[in-house]
Each structure stands twice: as C-alpha cells, then as structure tokens.
Amino acid sequence: MNASQYTPWIVAIGVLSLLIIWLFVRGARRRAEKATRVVTRMGGNFGRALVTTVVIGGVQWLVLAHTTDLRTWAAVLGFPALFAAAQLVRMFASTHEVAAKSKGGHR
C-alpha cells in the first residue's frame, strides 16, 4: 500500500476524532454550567443570610446596650427568634422533593 491509499482512512479517523472531542467538550461545558449555577445560588443565599444576621445582631446589640426595659429586651430578642423558629419548622416540615427540570424532559 502506498500513501494515497491511507489518506481517506486518515481523514476519516481525523474527522471522527474531532467529532468525539467536540461531543466531550460540549458535555463537560454543560456540567460546568450546571455546577456554576448551583454554587452561585448557594453563594447568594449565604450572602443574604450573612447580611441579615449582621443587621439583626446589630439592632439587638444597639437596643440592649442603650436600654434597660425588660419588655424591650424581650421584643428585640423574641421576634427574630420567633421568625427563625418558624423558618426552621417550615424547612424541616417540607415533604416534597424539588428536582431541576431537564431539557426536553418532564418532572
């Protein structure tokens, strides 16, 4: 066999290799995008929780440092605890499962 007989096979193998590489990169890109969305969502929730904690803690510290009225103390400490408890109860009482909707699929 001479070189001209190998050329079509070499071209076919090259095209097939490029197709396989393209499919692999496409799948990897989709997985990376999904992971980025999950991390971004978690980071956003963490940031909001941190800011809310700082605001509530700052208000509590300010009121507790500048007043001696026990009813005010009870209100300042009780209301955030009440809302936190309600949120925890709702979080732990959830009985449904949320799944991401796949492209073209049904839940």
Query: Mean pLDDT of residues grouped by 10 in the chain (107 residues)?
Result: 68 82 80 72 73 87 88 88 82 67 58
Q: Are 67 and 73 in contact (CB under 8 A)?
A: yes
Closest CA to 76 of 95, 100, 98, 58: 58
**pTM for the complete prediction?**
0.46
Length of the chain: 107
pLDDT at 87: 80
Q: What pLDDT, on a 0 to 100 scale, did the predictor assign at position 1?
A: 56
